[in-house]
Amino acid sequence: ATVPNILLSNGVRMPALAIGTAPLSTSPSHSPRSHQGYVGFFPERVTRSVRLALDAGLRHVDTALLYRSHEQVAHVIRASLMEGELDREDFFLTSKVLHPPAEAFGMDDTTIDMDEMTPEEVGRTVHRHVQVTLRELGVGYLDLMLLHWPSPGGGVGGQAEGDGDGEDGAGARTGMAEIDPARRAKRIAAWRVLEHYYSMGWLRAIGTSNFHEVHLQHLMDDGARVRPHVNQIETSVYIRHDGIVRYCRENGIAVSAFSPFGRGIMGMEEDGMLMSIASKHGATPGQVALAYLLHQGFAVTFYSGKLERMRGNIEACDIDLDESDVEKLEGLQRSASWGLPSPYTLS
């Protein structure tokens, strides 16, 4: 199987499958046997998973300053370049800045408490974080840089503001948090920093993560010179933000899905509908869930530490779902995250 590329609005080609680099324990029940009660990231697992991803044929690595995995990614890339296995142009590197404080997950130098900063301070901090990212990854330029969250209240360890899922089954907005003018001003300040590095050529593409359509439109209304090339949101067969996706497609913004398997805690492998369609195609439920997203034109970021699973996910690129399959899969929508807030709860 060959991983397809997604053509961004500026002509950059982005591989549609990416290996994620945020293995984590979100509750004491998920902590390792050797350290009961641990909540946080496991950056020590990333070196091997990225190495296996390259062995499987993946070339897109998705990371973030918050994850503390830049140096592990850099180690694998450096070794590959040194051995002449791959060239820099063979890799597509995505990272993210502008994550709110996240208890147990974020360190002081990896997050930004925008509510305690002026727009100018947010801009200066994003400047520094972009440079730190490039330094830690050991590269001259990044293929894609995203603003991680539009405001506090989101992210791992965050508490959602507002009432929940943000959309009904038809993709209509419900319970959208009122936009905070101060946070809006800080978002455009952060965005202008990404535009600066994009104009320098240090970033090949720039985008957002967890932004809804009003957040995105406000960037343009507030003077953005570059429309986001990508918006990354939680998406799976169980959770879709149709309104966000519709806006992005109408405005030439590629949509990237994270947590396509619900972090393994949403029961996809036991879902009767997924199992039925998987049997029809000689695939696994997870492969069908992934094929559905690819069929809909999403880029997808997933985490695995197993070579066989990575290869299986690549094989999902060849699964040809028919209209009946897609219709059944669209009926699985729950609008329920594995634990993150909806973008619509963020002001």
pLDDT higher at 163 or 311: 311
Under the banding of pLDDT at 50, 70 and 90, the label for residue 165 is very low
pLDDT higher at 20 or 28: 20
How high is the pLDDT of residue 324?
97
How high is the pLDDT of residue 164?
36
Under the banding of pLDDT at 50, 70 and 90, the label for residue 154 is low
Under the banding of pLDDT at 50, 70 and 90, the label for residue 1 is confident
Mean pLDDT of 243-270: 90
Mean pLDDT of 132-157: 90
How high is the pLDDT of residue 108?
85
Give the strand pairing for 40-41 and 24-25.
antiparallel
How high is the pLDDT of residue 81?
97
Mean pLDDT of 8-13: 98
Q: What are phi and psi of 13, to 5 degrees?
A: -100, 125
pLDDT single digits (tens) 28-81? 777 777 788 898 999 999 999 999 999 999 999 999 999 999 999 999 999 999
For residues 101 and 99, what is the distance between their CA atoms, to the nearest angstrom? 7
pLDDT higher at 142 or 102: 142
pLDDT of 182 higher than 90: yes
pLDDT of 179 higher than 60: yes
How high is the pLDDT of residue 161?
35
pLDDT more than 70, % of the chain = 91
Closest CA to 148 of 161, 158, 138: 158
Mean pLDDT of 301-326: 97
How high is the pLDDT of residue 31?
73
Under the banding of pLDDT at 50, 70 and 90, the label for residue 153 is confident
Burial class (CB in 10 A: 0-12, 13-18, 19+), 281: middle
How high is the pLDDT of residue 338?
59
Q: Comparing 106-115, 200-209, 213-222, 284-293, which segment has the lowest mean pLDDT?
A: 106-115
How high is the pLDDT of residue 264?
62
For residues 228 and 257, what is the distance between their CA atoms, to the nearest angstrom? 15
pLDDT of 322 higher than 80: yes
